[in-house]
Structure 1
């Protein structure tokens, strides 16, 4: 991850989302947890959302390869890591990629095609604007061609992914 401080605070980032001014950077900064003798409290999200989902993914799994017409979602990594690829649907930009690890939060706005690759067993939560029962979710989703190709390598004993059709990035299954 980028070691430079995020240009927005957590409150500023989530307020921008609430006002439908979606930041370009998917990484959402988190405030420091409140700590006392009883333990700690980390406020993961202080803005409005409608649905929460707990998702578990197996090593080598790929999820998404779609965009949402109107929905957005935050994703908080509870354990493991997610290699996240994204690109706006209204432009010719290439897929951008970032790895999010345990304890990190990221955001996907509407009309941004996205994919998630799981190099290891991963548990994460999503917090979405729209209702997320299967019918509601599917009516808002537009599938896109695969942005990541994932294959098992018998030589390395790991899953490998390539980004896009040009194979511009290869991962050996080890989170960065």
Structure 2
């Protein structure tokens, strides 16, 4: 799992923001090849994921609320690493990385982007389910 927050110094090359009297435009990607994007809303405590992809890199951008994001390699028996994400955080899960999410006490809205087959008719074609890693 890799993470960065679009509102802070993060070392992501090329990202920027432009502000004028109308408001601000803030980059969340730069030179990324995305195949799909969807908005996902979650009730407080909702758990999603508990799967991995063989060909897809998944990007999860937190819009509002909080989300505990769990991840681990499919090659380890160790417990998952947990990261509490807030608005502006981008979390990147690469192929063969098991990931799961649990929304915080106020719920969470995020946008999931996919670089690879993970949208529309292909939504389940690169999804491999596993036992719950949030425990």
Look up the match of 1:37.
Answer: 21
The Cα RMSD (Å) is: 2.2
Correspondence for 1:159 = none
The answer for the alignment partner of 1:80 in structure 2 is 65
CA contact (8 A) 2:72 2:79 kept: yes
> Can you give the 5+ residue segments of structure 1 that lack an aligned partner in the other structure?
13-30, 149-162, 164-176
Higher relative contact order (CA 8 A, sep 6+): 2
TM-score between both structures, scaled by the size of structure 1: 0.65
Task: Specify which structure has the higher proportion of helix.
Answer: 1
Residue 56 of structure 2 aligns with which residue?
71
Matches of 1:105 and 1:10, distance apart in 2: 11
May I ask how many residue pairs the two structures share in their alignment? 127
**Runs of 4+ displaced beyond 4 Å:** none
Task: Give per-residue Cα distances to partners, 1:10-63, cap 9 Å, x unaligned.
Answer: 128xxxxxxxxxxxxxxxxxx452212221110111111110111101101000
Once the 2 structures are TM-superposed, how far is the Cα of residue 116 of structure 1 from its aligned partner? 0.1
Matched residues in 2 for 1:142 and 1:135: separation?
16
Please report how far the alpha carbon of residue 93 of structure 1 lies from its aligned counterpart in structure 2 after TM superposition: 3.5
Structure with the larger strand share = 2
